[in-house]
């Protein structure tokens, strides 16, 4: 099923609400448990008042202390049960939400075009996904256990204090409103600091992965000390941003503590003077004292949670600006789940330029490739060969005109179904840190082991695979680091054999092979290309000598178009490049 370009909201609140709605019953039940536990906590304080009032009677033997004591103990037990239930349910809901966030962000991220991944470091993207999931869990946790309980305490205290003296409850409301306004305003002002810290943390994560990925170059160019200094500089910038964010939280704590000290002292002095005048009981003084200190500690948690939530919101906002960016390429509404079957490819009046370039790569390009034709693309570097291959796979969208495969515009097909009908052997083969069997089978997950073995034999790689320590079960190093360039290339060709798609794209497919391996693979490719539409890019023109047709591209324009023999006879661009590469005067049959 196609992934919507808006499947991940790119603003924090809509993003969080999406996951709250996803588990509305769990989070709804969790809210009921937490509110009930908070209500019990306030009621416990009132139970203590009843116990104290019963104790101060003149007749201690006749004092009715046991009923309020039983109520007091029962409320404590109920409160603890409710908290434990909320902890159990919260664990399940928040952990599951964190997993959903990572999966959804990953799914959205891989929907971006390839130029998006060229712009962002892979380590930075992966750290952003992890950080967003962590911050989402932190926000939900603080909302449930650090913000809701103090809010319930406050409402409960207002209700209870109204029974003692309504003026106290009004004073409490005023105090809390003033303190909350100060802390919230302070927290909003610090959002830029928290976002800056999130940005720097993502940069450091990306730098680490980038350096580890290119560790060969680090060693080969004696750059260990340079990279240490570079990383130390980046970490130093991140540390300074973290300190600024952290110290801002400490300033908020100081402001809160001063405000709450004033509030607590005022309320206690008020209650004691009222007791001296005989307008309240000793139990009321204990109640006011208990509630005041409970609100004192609870509001500290509330204030810190609000500021820390602001910090987490800053992190989530920064992450979503990058990961949640709208897809530049998305499936059209009602995109057809059809894939190429015959392999006829047609460019109709196509104009295309990259978003960051003013000059178009193609302008009003027309090209028809009949089904089953073997077409070679050649020409100077920068002529548009790789771009043409990318447009066929819809890795980018054209600005004008259309590209059709089997008479259907590629923009009308779903991206996955389109690419399911195209096999690609690129110059740089992408391999996972998985077994050889899994890497070959990646092109057709339902293929049997025998199908994989057959594809490997056709690609001339079965022999070297069986010589590996665990054969087809051997785990390949990251990006295929444990294999030679030629071996990686042949595994990529085996994938294409296994996929058995009607359209085959070869992008310098034999460039990494030695002469002996290239000849063996070229023989295998003759079987692979049989009965398929083939588009091959090659700088070595000799690899295209047996193709039906060659198109010479230069500066996005078709300079020559014909069979190898025809182009050689014209004494044009193809002929001059052929002679420069091989010194041959004609193409061998």
The answer to whether 533 and 376 have CB atoms below 8 angstroms apart is no
**Distant-in-sequence, close-in-space partners of 486: CB < 8 Å, separation ≥ 6:** 512, 513, 514, 517
How many CB atoms lie under 10 A from the CB of residue 132? 29
Cα 70 to Cα 51: distance, rounded to the nearest angstrom: 10
Over 494-556, what HEC string results? HHHHHHCCCEEEEECCCCCCCHHHHHHHHHHHHHHHCCCEEEEECCCHHHHCCCCEEEEEECC
With CA atoms as reference, report the closest residue to 421 among 412, 429, 411, 413: 413
pLDDT of residue 391: 92
Instruction: Kindly list the distances between the CA atom of residue 432 and the CA atoms of 162, 177, 317, 480, 488, in Å, as whole numbers in the listed order.
Output: 67, 56, 31, 7, 11
Check if the beta carbon of residue 576 is closer than 8 Å to that of residue 586. Answer: no
- Topology agreement, domain 12-323 and domain 343-421+548-589: no
User: From 1.20.1560.10, 3.30.1200.10, 3.40.50.300, 3.40.50.720, which CATH number describes the 12-323 domain?
Assistant: 1.20.1560.10
CA separation for the pair 340, 36 (Å, rounded): 60
> Which residue is it, tokens 């050649």?
378
Residue 63, pLDDT score: 53
What confidence score (pLDDT) does residue 6 get?
45
Paired with 506 in beta bridges are: 425, 536
CA separation for the pair 306, 299 (Å, rounded): 10
Q: Which residues, in sequence order, are CB contacts of 179 under 8 Å at separation 6+?
A: 256, 259, 260, 263, 299, 303
User: What is the rounded CA–CA span in Å between residue 550 and residue 377?
Assistant: 6
Task: Enumerate the domain spans of the chain.
Answer: 12-323, 343-421+548-589
Which helix (H) or strand (E) covers residue 560, if one does? strand 557-562
Total number of residues shown for the chain? 589
**Structure-derived torsion over alpha carbons of residues 162, 163, 167, 170, reported in degrees to the nearest 10:** -10
Chain-centroid distance of CA 517 in Å reads 40
How would DSSP label each residue in 7-40? SS-SSHHHHHHHHHHHTHHHHHHHHHHHHHHHHH
Cα distance between residue 226 and residue 333, in whole Å: 51
Would you report the helix, strand and coil content of the chain in percent, each value rounded to 5? 65, 10, 25
Residues 6+ apart with CB under 8 A from 28: none
CA atoms within 13 A on the CB side of 430: 4
The tokens describing 489, both together, are 């290339």
Please name the helix (run of DSSP H) or strand (run of DSSP E) that holds residue 415, with its range, or none.
helix 415-420
Q: How far apart are CA 420 and CA 410, in angstroms?
A: 12
Give 336's DSSP letter: B
Of the options 2.160.10.10, 3.30.342.10, 3.40.1360.10, 3.40.50.300, the CATH number for the domain spanning 343-421+548-589: 3.40.50.300
Q: Are 314 and 191 in contact (CB under 8 A)?
A: yes
CA–CA distance from 506 to each of 120, 215, 250, 390, 427 (Å)? 27, 29, 59, 12, 8
3-state secondary structure of 557: strand
Note down pLDDT in tens along the chain; length 589 residues.
Answer: 333 444 677 788 888 889 998 889 999 999 999 999 888 887 777 777 776 666 666 555 545 667 777 887 888 888 889 989 988 998 889 999 988 998 888 888 888 877 787 777 666 787 788 888 888 888 898 888 888 888 887 787 778 777 777 777 787 777 777 777 777 777 667 767 777 777 777 778 777 777 776 776 777 767 778 888 888 888 888 888 888 877 877 777 777 778 777 777 777 777 777 777 776 666 777 777 777 777 766 766 776 677 677 778 877 887 888 887 787 787 877 777 777 888 899 999 999 988 878 888 999 999 999 998 999 998 888 888 889 998 999 888 889 999 999 989 998 888 888 888 888 888 778 888 888 999 999 888 888 999 999 988 888 888 889 988 888 998 887 666 678 777 888 888 888 888 888 899 988 766 656 666 667 667 667 767 777 899 988 877 877 888 889 999 988 899 989 888 888 888 888 888 888 776 544 444 3
The residues facing 533 across adjacent strands are: 503
What is the H or E stretch that residue 349 is in? strand 345-352
Q: Are 407 and 372 in contact (CB under 8 A)?
A: no
422: which 2 tokens?
């195209």
């Amino acid at each position: 099923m196609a992934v919507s370009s808006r499947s991940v909201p790119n603003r924090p609140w809509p993003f969080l609400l999406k996951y709250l709605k996803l588990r509305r019953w769990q989070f709804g039940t969790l809210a009921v448990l937490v509110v009930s536990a908070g209500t019990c906590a306030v009621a416990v304080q009132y139970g203590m008042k009843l116990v104290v009032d019963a104790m101060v009677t003149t007749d201690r033997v006749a004092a009715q202390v046991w009923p309020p004591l039983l109520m007091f103990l029962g409320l404590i037990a109920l409160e603890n049960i409710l908290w434990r239930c909320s902890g159990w349910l919260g664990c399940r809901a928040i952990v599951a939400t964190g997993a959903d966030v990572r999966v959804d962000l990953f799914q959205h991220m891989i929907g971006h075009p390839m130029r998006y991944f060229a712009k962002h470091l892979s380590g930075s993207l992966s750290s952003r996904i992890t950080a967003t999931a962590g911050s989402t869990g932190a926000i939900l946790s603080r909302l449930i256990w650090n913000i809701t309980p103090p809010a319930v305490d406050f409402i409960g205290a207002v209700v209870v204090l109204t029974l003692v003296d309504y003026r106290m409850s009004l004073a409490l409301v005023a105090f809390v409103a003033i303190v909350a306004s100060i802390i919230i305003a302070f927290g909003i002002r610090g959002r830029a600091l928290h976002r800056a810290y999130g940005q720097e943390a993502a940069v450091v994560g990306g730098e680490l992965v980038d350096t580890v990925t290119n560790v060969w170059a680090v060693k080969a160019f004696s750059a260990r000390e340079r990279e240490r200094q570079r990383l130390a500089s980046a970490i130093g910038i991140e540390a300074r941003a973290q300190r600024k964010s952290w110290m801002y939280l400490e300033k908020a704590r100081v402001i809160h503590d001063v405000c709450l000290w004033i509030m607590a002292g005022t309320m206690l002095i008020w209650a004691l003077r009222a007791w001296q005048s005989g307008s309240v009981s000793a139990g009321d003084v204990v109640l006011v004292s208990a509630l005041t200190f409970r609100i004192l500690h609870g509001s500290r948690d509330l204030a810190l949670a609000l500021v820390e939530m602001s910090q987490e919101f800053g992190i989530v906002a920064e992450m979503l600006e990058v990961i949640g960016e709208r897809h530049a390429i998305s499936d059209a509404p009602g995109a057809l789940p059809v894939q190429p079957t015959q392999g006829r490819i047609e460019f109709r009046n196509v104009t295309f330029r990259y978003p960051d370039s003013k000059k178009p790569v193609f302008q009003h390009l027309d090209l028809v490739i009949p089904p089953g034709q073997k077409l070679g693309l050649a020409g100077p570097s920068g002529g548009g060969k790789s771009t043409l291959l990318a447009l066929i796979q819809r890795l980018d969208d054209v600005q004008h005109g259309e590209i059709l495969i089997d008479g259907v515009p590629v923009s009308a097909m779903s991206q996955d179904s389109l690419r399911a009908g195209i096999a690609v052997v690129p110059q740089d083969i992408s391999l996972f840190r998985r077994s050889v069997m899994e890497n070959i089978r990646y092109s057709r997950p339902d293929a049997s082991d025998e199908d994989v073995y057959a594809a490997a034999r056709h690609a001339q790689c079965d022999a070297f695979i069986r010589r590996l320590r665990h054969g087809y079960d051997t785990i390949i190093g990251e990006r295929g680091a444990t294999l030679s360039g030629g071996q990686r290339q042949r595994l990529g060709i085996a994938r294409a054999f296994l996929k058995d798609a009607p359209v085959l794209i070869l992008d310098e497919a034999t460039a990494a092979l030695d002469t002996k391996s290239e000849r063996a693979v070229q023989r295998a490719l003759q079987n692979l290309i049989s009965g398929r539409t083939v588009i091959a890019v090659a700088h070595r023109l000799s690899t295209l000598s047996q193709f039906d047709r060659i198109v010479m591209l230069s500066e996005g324009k078709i300079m020559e178009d014909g069979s190898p023999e025809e182009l050689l006879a014209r004494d044009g661009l193809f002929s001059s490049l052929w002679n420069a590469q091989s010194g041959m005067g004609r193409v061998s049959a």
